[in-house]
Structure 1
Amino acid sequence: MKITGLETFCLEYRMPYPLTYARGEYQSREAVLVKVYTDDPDIVGWGEAAMWGGPFDTTVAVLEKQIQPLIVGHDPRRPEYLWEKVYQETYYHGRKGILLSCLSGIDIALWDIMGKASGQPVWRMLGGFGRPLRSYASSGYYRRDYTVDDFAADVSQARAAGYLGYKMKVGNMASAVHAGVLHETPMRVSFAEDIARVEAAREALGAELDLMCDATTSLDARTAMAYADQFERLGIRWFEEPTQPENITGCAELARRTRVPIAGFETETSKFNFAALMDAGAIQVVQPDVIQVGGITEARKIAAYAQMRHLTFSSKNYSTAVSLAACINLLYALPNADYFECDMDPSPWREEFLRSPLFLSDRGMVEPFDRPGLGLDIDEAALEAWRVKA
């Protein structure tokens, strides 16, 4: 079997209302899917490359003009080899950032192909630990015309839906580390107002379920410590991305001073950077983004190192059904997998281009499946409703 080429799908969706967090406000969701073709017309692979606000044409150019020539003609059932080939041939400028995000999309598609070619789900090919996963609802942004009572009602709905936890945004303060540049971010709150939001969420969720707080890399270490003191009182399950990922010293000091586990960093890339964070004691919940960190091949190495250090592993999941499938297959394969994130914000891409659901949840638990590859049944024609030109 040989790779014959790839196709990119640039998607855009206008949400019914804007979402605000400490780094800005957005109302459009964007995604880049990758379809890798083989010389077997019955076997193609689907992947997703993180672009998170970057220009479509930049991501597409890296995929089509830089990575595609490096993999065409090669056997797609060698994802480890092709990952290393692309990484080494782009080494001088591609070790972080956009190239690794684009490589993520290719790598995920190759694992999809390998699973389909062998008739096995990807999670089983990765080791097949196969434990059902706990799921948590993820939302809790700052929103216009959205009171604390409205927010608490949404948290209560997530509880009623059976989720075992809830994750919310915090840290949208005037003293955020990037506020001097991202000064137009609306809805800045005081520390006391932010803690009041967390208290409302805790009351709505109840003491027995898990509440997580995500500062999206927005705080200096001292401010993060003030938050962590309150989070201890409120029984927060983890404090996600409290500092910027390069502030390893500050994050490690925070981790030493609090009993709340520190989670991160979805904005970081490569096993080397995650090893540095773990070695410093800066994170206790290891949480990359599969579509940004380098794909399944890189993420599973990070997960293995986390297991060696007796740390739990999770993964960001906040985009399309393709990234969701990559995330859930990886987590099913791991003995140290923690929660599975379920994005609750407006998006048609979790289900509407699938002919059948990827997974079913029973009382907050998500069971492994036996469908080959990533387990996706994509209706390609349905993608046209959101497809835009790069």
Structure 2
Amino acid sequence: MKITGLETFCLAYQMPYPLTYPRGEYQSREAVLVKVHTDDPDIFGWGEAAMWGGPWATTTTVLEQQIQPLIVGHDPRRPEYLWEKVYQETYYHGRKGILLSCLSAVDIALWDILGKATGEPVWRLLGGFARPLRAYASSGYYRRDYSINDLAEDVAKARSTGYRGYKMKVGNIASAVHAGVLDETPHRVSIARDLARVRAARDALGGDLDLMCDATTSLDARTAMTYADEFERIGVRWFEEPTQPENIAGCAELARRTRIPIAGFETETNKFNFAAMMDAGAIQMVQPDVIQVGGITEARKIAAYAQMRHLGFSSKNYSTAVSLAACLNLLYALPNADYFECDMDPSPWREEFLRAPLFTFDGGMVEPFERPGLGLDIDEAALSAWRVSQ
């Protein structure tokens, strides 16, 4: 079997209302899907590249002009080899950033192909631990005309739906580390007001379920300590991305000063950077983004190193069904993963272009499936509703 080429799908969706977090406000969702073709017309693979607001053209150019020539003609059933080939042949201008995001998409698609070629789900090929995952709802942004009571109602709704936890945004304060240049971000609040939001969410969720707080890399270490001190009293399960990932020393000092586990960093890429954070004691819940960190091949190595250090592992899940499928397959394979993030914000891409649901949700748990590959059955015609030209 040989790779014959790849195809990119640029998608855009306008949400019914804007969402705000400490780095800005947005109302558009954007995504780049990748379809890797083989000389067997019945076997192809789907992947996704993180692009998060960058121009589609930069991502598609890297995929089509940089990575595609490096993989065409090769056996797609060798994802480990092709990952290393692309990484080493782009080493001097790659290693992080957009190159790793694009390599993530191709790597995920290759695992999808390998699963289809063998008739097995990817999670089984990765080790097949096969533990059902606890699902938590993820939302809690700052919004226009959205009060603390409105937030509490949404948290209570997630509880009644059966989710095992809830994650919300924090850190949209005037002293955010990037506020000086992102000064037009709306809904800045005081720390006292922010903590009032967290208390309201905790009361609505109840004391028996987990509440997580995500500062999206927005705080200096000392300000993060102020939050963490109060999070201990409130009862927060983990404090996600409190500092910028480059601030390893500050994040490690925070981790030493609090009993709240520090989670991160979805904005970081490659195993070497994650190893440095783990070695420093900066994170206790290891949480990359599979479509940004380097794909399944890189993420499972990070997970293995986390297991060696007796650390939990999870993965960001906040994009399309392709990202969701990659995340699920990875987490199902691991002994140190038990939590699955369920994006609750407006998006048609979690299920509307699928011919069959990707997973079942029962009692707050998601169960492994037996479909080959990533388990996706994508209706390409349905993608046309959101597809845009570069």
| Deviations 1:264-316, CA, capped at 9 Å, x for gaps | 00000000000000000000000000000000000000000000000000000
| Deviations 1:197-253, CA, capped at 9 Å, x for gaps | 000000000000000000000000000000000100011000000000000000000
Cα distance in 2, alignment partners of residues 342 and 165 from structure 1: 10
| Deviations 1:169-222, CA, capped at 9 Å, x for gaps | 000000000000101100000000000000000000000000000000000000
Q: Counterpart of 1:40 in structure 2: which amino acid?
A: D
Cα distance in 2, alignment partners of residues 298 and 12 from structure 1: 27
Cα distance in 2, alignment partners of residues 170 and 123 from structure 1: 33
Q: Give the match's secondary structure for 1:388.
A: coil
| Deviations 1:353-380, CA, capped at 9 Å, x for gaps | 0000000011101000000000000000
Offset at residue 41 of structure 1 (A): 0.3
Aligned to 1:71: 71
Q: Does structure 1 residue 94 correspond to structure 2 residue 86?
A: no
Aligned to 2:42: 42
Q: Which runs of 5+ in 1 are unaligned?
A: none
Cα distance in 2, alignment partners of residues 129 and 160 from structure 1: 29
* Residues 30-179 of structure 1 aligned to structure 2 (within 5 Å): 30-179=30-179
Q: Does structure 1 residue 382 correspond to structure 2 residue 382?
A: yes
Aligned to 2:336: 336
| Deviations 1:35-94, CA, capped at 9 Å, x for gaps | 000000000100000001110000000000000000000000000000000000000010
Cα distance in 2, alignment partners of residues 389 and 71 from structure 1: 24
Cα distance in 1, alignment partners of residues 149 and 179 from structure 2: 27
CA contact 2:122–2:374 (8 Å) conserved in 1:
yes
Aligned to 1:261: 261
Cα distance in 2, alignment partners of residues 347 and 220 from structure 1: 32
Aligned to 1:19: 19
| Deviations 1:96-125, CA, capped at 9 Å, x for gaps | 000000000000000000000000000000
Q: Which runs of 5+ in 2 are unaligned?
A: none
Q: Give the match's secondary structure for 1:8.
A: strand
Q: Give the match's secondary structure for 1:351.
A: coil
Q: Give the match's secondary structure for 1:242.
A: coil
Q: Does structure 1 residue 311 correspond to structure 2 residue 311?
A: yes
Aligned to 1:206: 206
Q: Give the match's secondary structure for 1:42.
A: coil
Aligned to 2:4: 4
Cα distance in 2, alignment partners of residues 237 and 387 from structure 1: 38
Aligned to 2:296: 296
Cα distance in 1, alignment partners of residues 171 and 353 from structure 2: 34
Q: Counterpart of 1:261 in structure 2: which amino acid?
A: P
Cα distance in 1, alignment partners of residues 148 and 213 from structure 2: 16
Cα distance in 2, alignment partners of residues 100 and 239 from structure 1: 26
CA contact 2:132–2:338 (8 Å) conserved in 1:
no
Cα distance in 2, alignment partners of residues 55 and 230 from structure 1: 39
Cα distance in 1, alignment partners of residues 364 and 72 from structure 2: 42
Offset at residue 338 of structure 1 (A): 2.9
Cα distance in 2, alignment partners of residues 356 and 160 from structure 1: 25
Aligned to 2:281: 281
Offset at residue 20 of structure 1 (A): 0.1
CA contact 2:353–2:379 (8 Å) conserved in 1:
yes
Cα distance in 1, alignment partners of residues 388 and 293 from structure 2: 25
CA contact 2:242–2:251 (8 Å) conserved in 1:
yes
Cα distance in 2, alignment partners of residues 49 and 147 from structure 1: 34
Aligned to 1:362: 362
Aligned to 1:188: 188
Cα distance in 1, alignment partners of residues 166 and 360 from structure 2: 18
Cα distance in 2, alignment partners of residues 279 and 187 from structure 1: 36
Aligned to 1:241: 241
Cα distance in 2, alignment partners of residues 361 and 307 from structure 1: 27
Q: Give the match's secondary structure for 2:93.
A: helix
Q: Give the match's secondary structure for 2:156.
A: helix
TM-score of the two chains, using structure 2 as the length reference: 1.00
Q: Counterpart of 1:122 in structure 2: which amino acid?
A: V
Aligned to 1:218: 218
Cα distance in 2, alignment partners of residues 255 and 364 from structure 1: 29
Cα distance in 2, alignment partners of residues 240 and 282 from structure 1: 11
Cα distance in 1, alignment partners of residues 96 and 375 from structure 2: 29
RMSD between aligned alpha carbons? 0.3
Cα distance in 2, alignment partners of residues 150 and 39 from structure 1: 53
CA contact 2:131–2:338 (8 Å) conserved in 1:
no
The structure 1 segments of at least 4 consecutive aligned residues displaced by more than 6 Å after TM superposition are none
